[in-house]
Amino acid sequence: MPTRRLSWRDAWPTLQVGLALVACGLWYATGGAVWYRVTSVGLWPALLVVAMWPLQRLARGRWERLQGVHLWLGIFLLTAVVSTVVAYNRPVAVAKLGTVIGAAGLALALSHQRTRRQIYLSLAPLGLGLAALALYSLAGSDWDAQALKYPALAEAGRSLTGWIAWTPGHRITPNVAGSMLAALLPYGVALAGLAPSRWLGMRQPGPQAAIRGCWALAVALGVSALILTGSRGAWGGSLAMVAGWALWRWLGRLAPPGPAGYRRRLIGFGLMALAGGLAVVLGGYLVLVLTLPGAAALANRIDLITRSLSLAQDYAYTGVGLGQFPIPYSVYTLLIHVGYIVNPHNTLVGILVEQGVLGMAALILLWVSALRAFVRTRAHASPGLGIVLEASVASLMTMVVHGMVDSGLYGSRGLLIMLVPVGVIIACARHVESETAAAEGERSPEASRTRDRTAVPILAGLAVILLVLVATAGRPHTAWLANRGALEQTRQELALYDPERFAELSLDDARLRADLAEAERLLAAAARHPGHPSAPRRLAAIYLSRSQYPDALAVLKASWDAGSRDSTTRLLYGDALIAAGDPAGAAATVKGIRWAAERIEGQASSRYVPRGEWAQVAYAYEAVARLNGTGEADLGRINEARQRAGLAPLEALP
């Protein structure tokens, strides 16, 4: 390949990647937000990201022309900023916002690479990161904990890593390590397949075999570390990636050359991918129906995602706030007083909960834009650029598939690499278009692009509107009122309530002390339309904490009659029925919900007994007895509570 003299402008895009990597390194090394602890360096590394714009101006001699990918990335960033502003725990949200900005900055820096040399130099840190992460993960793995899950893997890990000295410090959890390794592995494969002398413009081949051998070693380390993480989600995502990549290459050999053959290749891949997805769904259904091994874990994961969607409905437009999932999920969805889980184990659902429907839509459209660029340019790409494009799609496929069952990247500092495939695809697509335009003698790369841009914004807009309507249950204005009311309630209540000190100040007491006038006003306005379940749930929870039991029953009865049957509505309606003296109806309402009996038991001891509401205590005990089938055993305490309440004793449960 002929080489050209390097210009000072050629250094600026590479410097942009360097600045973005430094910013990401600062945000990663300082810890970000883990559970409720905050150790972030703050947002000042964003200055390194902002510096990319003048560097891009210097590199190209003009400002960059904005495209659809910039719009979706901007909306994704904007929703992250909004969810930081509305968060009840601002320091945690700011810490996670840094990782979002870092991810966006790295993607932009990668997309600004214009030459093969620049693209190769930007891929090299990804390959080095793969090797470093693999070694760090192996050195820091807790093999004793791993032995409880996979004894053979733990023993193999001890044997392989016995020579590595480990200094106690930051330990990457297996799921997070697996997510990051699986996302970076395709780039290691691509680097091992590229000829450095051609990509770097060397006049002499140099130690080409040695360089490619080093990348192959990085891949081997990455695969070994990935296997030893024991992350089934990462394994599944990687297997899907390998199968998809192999299928794409196989179809490429079968398809005839030319546009018609490329269309056949795309259609064939799409149909087979769809068939594979349907097979997975059918297999999961059979596992549940036939109670095969793994049925309980799958059912729990589906229940977690379903309940998380219920929480997302409360904050449809703004999200609950970056990094704010754990406590609101426990308090407002599970209706328990302590943290239960850190994320919903689904990437898109996690974004929907934390950043709202617009944040999720922006990420989906960002992915679609990248895939569209791949489809548009892959047929015209040289073999080397084709490998990089395919590696990026493979990385994206891994993230999407693994993201269906876990939130390893978005729920951790691994978020910093979540947008890498988008940036690399855009850079390679632009380079392909430049080469195509030069070969065809056109004035600019834009001239070689397909002319279907007019329909794209229209389709994207319709997709966003559809997602908003689905997320708001077809009532966008009601959802907006409910969103504002839920945010106000969350900020007021959780500013007082500390789940680690619930014995000192219970959630009910915090709710009684909080100034909820504005939240009640907004929620009451939204609850006038009971077809949207969010506001009735929130308003009823406030009424129940205040012992306004008739008001709670009225709100929930209207929501129930309107068709609301989510688990949170059922639990709250059960509480209202217990308070109204209908334990049989309460037991029937909550039957089948996990921990329903234990939760009612807790309500009796933490709410009714301290307030001396002995009638409600008796009804709660009766509901528990009906759920557990322990009527005779519980009859004594039921009658004791009834006696304190001045009610006639029961001979037996009716």
User: Is residue 324 a part of any domain in this protein?
Assistant: no
CATH number at residue 624: 1.25.40
Same domain, yes or no: 365 and 485: no
pLDDT of residue 68: 78
Cα(639)–Cα(618) distance, integer angstroms? 7
Q: What is the DSSP letter of 564?
A: -
Quick one: 259 and 112 in the same domain?
yes
Residue span of the structural domain in which 491 resides = 475-645
DSSP 2-53: ------GGGHHHHHHHHHHHHHHHHHHHT--EETTEE----STTHHHHHTHH
Structural contact between residues 364 and 416, judged by C-beta atoms closer than 8 angstroms: no
Closest CA to 120 of 215, 25, 233: 215
Pick the range with the lowest mean pLDDT from 385-394, 419-428, 466-475: 466-475
Q: Do 404 and 361 fall into the same domain?
A: yes
For residues 384 and 194, the answer to whether their CB atoms sit within 8 Å is yes
Number of domains making up the chain: 2
Say yes or no: 505 and 482 in one domain.
yes
Average pLDDT, the chain: 87
pLDDT given for residue 1 in this prediction: 44
Point out which residues pair with 466 in neighbouring strands.
none
**Could you tell me if residue 254 is inside a domain?**
yes
Residue 586 lies in a domain: yes
Q: Answer whether 67's CB lies under 8 Å from 449's CB.
A: no
Same domain, 466 and 518: no
**Residue 441 pLDDT > 70:** no
One domain, residues 460 and 479: no
The one-letter amino acid code at 120 reads Y
pLDDT of residue 171: 75
User: What pLDDT does 162 receive?
Assistant: 67
Residues 479 and 465 in one domain: no
Query: How many C-beta atoms lie closer than 10 Å to residue 371's C-beta?
Result: 17
Domain presence at residue 36: yes
Number of other residues whose CB lies within 10 A of the CB of residue 436: 17
Evaluate whether 581 touches 651 at the Cβ level (below 8 Å): no
How does pLDDT run across 6-33, given as a tens digit for each residue? 566 678 888 889 999 999 998 888 765 5
Would you state the pLDDT for residue 339?
86
Mean pLDDT of 277-304: 91
Residue 302 lies in a domain: no
Is pLDDT of 446 > 50?
no
Tell me whether residue 652 is in a domain: no
pLDDT band at 444 (very low <50, low <70, confident <90, very high): very low
| Same-domain status, 480 and 441 | no
Q: Rounded to the nearest 10 degrees, what angle do helices 295-314 and 476-494 cross at?
A: 100
183-242: pLDDT as tens digits? 999 999 999 999 888 887 766 666 888 889 999 999 999 999 999 988 889 999 999 999
Q: What is the pLDDT of residues 503-528, one digit of tens each?
A: 889 999 999 999 999 999 999 999 99
Same domain as 466, residue 479: no
Query: Could you tell me if 572 and 626 lie in one domain?
Result: yes
In a domain, 334, yes or no: no
* Residues 563, 634 within the same domain: yes
With respect to residue 243, please indicate whether it lies within any of the assigned structural domains. Answer: yes
Residue 231 phi/psi, 5-degree rounding, is -85, 105
Answer yes or no: do 287 and 366 share one domain: yes
- The residue ranking higher by pLDDT, 306 or 146, is 306
Query: What's the confidence (pLDDT) of residue 197?
Result: 82
